[in-house]
Amino acid sequence: MASERAVETVPKTEEHAAEPGRTDQERLAADLQHLRDLLEGVRIGEARRFVKELQQRWPESERVRHYAHVLQPPKVRSRPDIPARSSEREWKWLQEHGHEYPGCWLAIYEDRLIAADPDRRVVTAKARQELRGEPFFLFHQPGSPKAP
């Protein structure tokens, strides 16, 4: 059934440490692959919990630190120099069309897409150029980018 969800458990630290015959690099690679699998399956909550465990296992790993940073919940900051406006139109567009751009960063202004690309820098540069300082909605659509 479509409403059924597969549940995968995250390996426990004790089980992980007991893997015979594997090097630390192989265990780290397997952990990172599991994390990527969670993300590709859009299981963000599980990925956030798992990356905390990885930080304990691999405190020196640059990749683990990177994932821990990007998986932090978003922080919303207001700028008093920019008047507040509703983002209702952007959210509506995103609900209707966001799925068409898996794995891409999206710059949305009101009810139109300004730019979409897997590279956030490409999207923000195009949006800044086109909108000339107007605030825009920046969103990352989960999934794998479509092949060209």
User: What is the torsion angle, in degrees rounded to the nearest 10, for the CA atoms of residue 46, residue 117, residue 88 and residue 45?
Assistant: 0
Query: What tokens appear for 74 in the block?
Result: 């978003």
Supply the pLDDT for residue 84.
77
State the DSSP code for 98: G
Supply the pLDDT for residue 7.
45
On whether the CB atoms of residues 98 and 129 are closer than 8 A, the answer is no
Count other C-beta atoms under 10 Å from residue 18's C-beta.
8
Supply the pLDDT for residue 19.
64
Q: Write out the chain's pLDDT in tens, 148 residues.
A: 444 444 444 444 445 555 677 898 999 999 999 999 999 988 899 999 999 999 999 999 999 999 999 999 888 887 788 777 788 999 999 999 999 999 999 999 999 999 999 999 999 999 999 999 888 989 999 888 776 5
Supply the pLDDT for residue 75.
82
Amino acid letter at 92?
A: K
Closest CA to 102 of 49, 56, 144: 144
Supply the pLDDT for residue 1.
41
The domain segmentation of the chain, as residue ranges, is 13-70, 88-140
The count of residues in the chain is 148
